[in-house]
Structure 1
Amino acid sequence: MNTSLRYDWTEQELQEIHDLPLLQLIDRARSVHLQHHDPYTIDVCRLISIKTGGCPEDCRYCAQSSRYQTFVTPERSLDKEEVLKRAADAKASGASRICLSVAQRDVKEGAQFEKIREMISSIKEMGLSVCCTLGMMTEDQAQKLKEAGLTYYNHNLDTSERYYPEVVTTRTYHERIKTLDAADKAGLKVCSGGILGLGETKEDRLQLILTFAKRRPHPASVPVNSLVPIEGTPFAHREKIPLFELVRFIATARIAMPSSMIRLSAGRESLSKEAQALCFLAGANSIFQGNKLLTVQNRTVEEDAELMRDLGLKGK
């Protein structure tokens, strides 16, 4: 089986892979995973929300949107000292990467931007890799973040281009792609993934994987989120994605993008140990650590430590 990197995948090929008998699909994904990664090492990331809530976008799944009445109220921005303390705590509990998040439409230069650049440099000095998710950005802004020591830039596509207008209307898919291009051109590693359970079809999921798999290079990191329905948002009553559909998505993404980190992200709190183990077998090799992931619950640090002990996994 050819497991070298490819950028010429077709939707038909991905569909044939996705629709294999489940155990056969997992076997194939596991084979690819073994050739490109240490199968017993997990990339452990910690998300720190610098500014939570008050976002002007209308993402229909998000509690941080100012357009919906949810349990989230806008909070003040964290100061540098608090962010560095949280980063140090994350490192002590096994995290190797910190992701800094700001709820906003796009990168805004000025005092806050310079403060974030200082945070990046200081966290990098701790020996940690740094990722940011700050919204849409230009090539010049990407370069400034790179110069500060940023390694990854997160900007999720969420779903397929076809279904995207059903999820977000305040920005276009093309605008999202332009930000990924800006990160690539600045020499940043792209972190971009999707959310399953938004009401999309199987074809939408395959189109999302195809969009990533045709990029040169593939995203270095691909977060796979399962929708956590939140009261007050338009998607509050969407049905939870079945486990085997999540596993099929992970396995297909692993085969299409052999060298990428596939991160089991939002929605992991509802997965049992056994379900998470199946996701790791299918090709996931990264998790977000911490009791909360932005506005939703996550597995506790203690639960993750127990899971990794039980499975014989270690952090990077």
Structure 2
Amino acid sequence: MQTTEPLRHNWTKEEIEAIYQKPLLELVYEAATVHRQWHKASEIQVCTLLSVKTGGCPEDCSYCGQAARYHTDIKVQALLPTETVIAHAKKAKDAGSSRFCMAAAWREVRNNRDFDRIIDMVKGVNELGLEVCCTLGMLTEEQALRLQEAGLHAYNHNLDTSEAYYDEIISTRKFDNRIKTIQNVRKAGITVCSGGIIGLGETAADRISMLLTLATMPKHPESVPVNALARVKGTPLENQPKVPIWDMVRMIATARIIMPASVVRLSAGRIEMTEEEQAWCFMAGANSIFTGERETLLVTPNPGVSEDMQMFQNLGLQPMVKEKEAVCTTI
């Protein structure tokens, strides 16, 4: 389902702020209306995210339990065997997932045997008929092209926060590095998955600025994850307060209105939300969740498959079925 209305890429910060600050019920009503113009409101894409290489990352992202410099309880895990990853992907498909995402705790992709193994994983998951997504850190245009040729459907590289607040959260890379990786992904013909995290200590203006960056890209990210900070013990942000549900609803609704064709993903933070709170997020325009057999989202707790399927039944929702023509084929 999609309207013939053109997508806007010339949003101003003032316009987005006016949307974000609307009375909540008015904002949700508008977002729900837009959502129904562009998507089937009863369908939610179920995605599975698997950490294929965990911990030991050299970066200093203040929210991340996988950073080597922080003393967390995260167990470091080397790159999983390809056959193990494919087995997880098969289970995910059988459980209703149409998208399988593989994450490696790397600062950047290196042209070595590990990357060769990632390429084999992408090919294997693609052959199952799943949308294949990776998040591997920064990568060059040439590396992105290798992934595309292997059948990669999407690459996740979140902005995390606004450009102005970015240095308060990460010092080991720059905001422009993130933009460059997204550009490399686009040049290679891979769809973009990019959103951010709220609850990092940022202001509403920072959230609006991050949305502005996404909504004014030459092409909107096909996927926009909205994450609530998962507070990991041992990280600099472990004592941040829980993100209020209405802040999540505002972010999701605003993203839905300004990027109507994108899939807006209700990502990290669901474990602390009630079913009723998640329902508000779906009403505001979220049409994707992450679930998994391990009941984790990377290294933080997440609802399990059976719990999510019961929620779907209660709310009258159903898993989005992947269209056959959307299947990537190896070139």
The question of a shared fold, defined as TM-score above 0.5 by the shorter chain, is answered with yes
- 1:296 to 2:328 alignment: no
Which position in structure 1 is the counterpart of 2:198? 196
> 2:239 & 2:5 partners in 1: Cα distance?
40
Deviations 1:30-71 (A, max 9, x none): 111011111111111101111000000000010000010000
Contact 1:4 1:258 in 2 (8 A): no
SS of the residue corresponding to residue 231 of structure 2 reads coil
**1:114 Cα deviation from its structure 2 partner:** 1.1
Q: Which secondary structure does the structure 2 equivalent of 1:116 belong to?
A: helix
Which structure 2 residues correspond to residues 71-82 of structure 1 after superposition, within 5 A?
71-82=73-84
Q: What is the match of residue 37 of structure 2?
A: 35
Are 1:307 and 2:311 an aligned pair?
yes
Range with bigger deviation, 73-82 or 256-265: 73-82
1:19 partnered with 2:29: no
Q: Distance in 2 between matches of 1:196 and 1:219?
A: 18
Aligned CA RMSD, in angstroms, stands at 0.9
Contact 1:221 1:262 in 2 (8 A): yes
TM-score (norm 1): 0.98
Q: Which runs of 5+ in 2 are unaligned?
A: 321-331
Instruction: Write out aligned runs for 1:28-107 (5 A).
Output: 28-107=30-109
**Structure 2 counterpart of 1:91, one-letter code:** K
Unmatched 5+ residue regions in structure 1? Answer: none
Tell me the equivalent position of 2:122: 120
Structure 1 stretches (4+) deviating beyond 2 angstroms?
Answer: none
Q: How many residues align?
A: 315
- C-alpha displacement at 1:73, in angstroms? 2.8
What TM-score do the two structures reach when normalised by structure 2?
A: 0.94
- 8 A contact 1:18–1:25 mirrored in 2: yes
**What are the Cα deviations for residues 203-241 of structure 1, in whole angstroms up to 9, with x where unaligned?**
000000000000121000011110011111000100111
Paired residue secondary structure (1:91): helix
Q: CA deviation at 1:3?
A: 5.7
Could you tell me how far 1:19 is from its partner in structure 2?
1.1
Structure 1 CA distance for aligned equivalents of residues 219 and 305 of structure 2: 32
- 2:208 maps to 206
Secondary structure class of the residue paired with 1:253:
helix
Aligned to 1:110: 112
Equivalents in 1 of 2:35, 2:96: separation in Å?
A: 23
**Matched letter for residue 311 of structure 1:** L
- In terms of mean alpha carbon deviation, does 202-211 or 4-13 score higher? 4-13
CA contact (8 A) 1:3 1:258 kept: no
**Residue 280 (1) aligns with residue 304 (2):** no
Deviations 1:138-178 (A, max 9, x none): 11110110000000000011000000000000000000000
Q: Secondary structure at the match of 2:219?
A: coil
Separation in 2, partners of 1:49, 1:227: 18
Give percent identity, aligned residues only.
Answer: 50
Inter-partner Cα distance in structure 2 for 1:17 and 1:62: 30
The match for 1:252 is 254
Give the secondary-structure state (helix, strand or coil) at the position aligned to 2:47: strand
Cα distance per residue 1:239-294 (max 9 Å; x no partner): 11111111011100100100000000110011000000000000000000111001
Matches of 1:76 and 1:117, distance apart in 2: 16
Give the structure 2 partner of residue 4 of structure 1: 6
CA distance in 1, matches of 2:5, 2:24: 19
Letter paired with 1:42: I
Q: How much does 1:107 deviate? A: 0.5
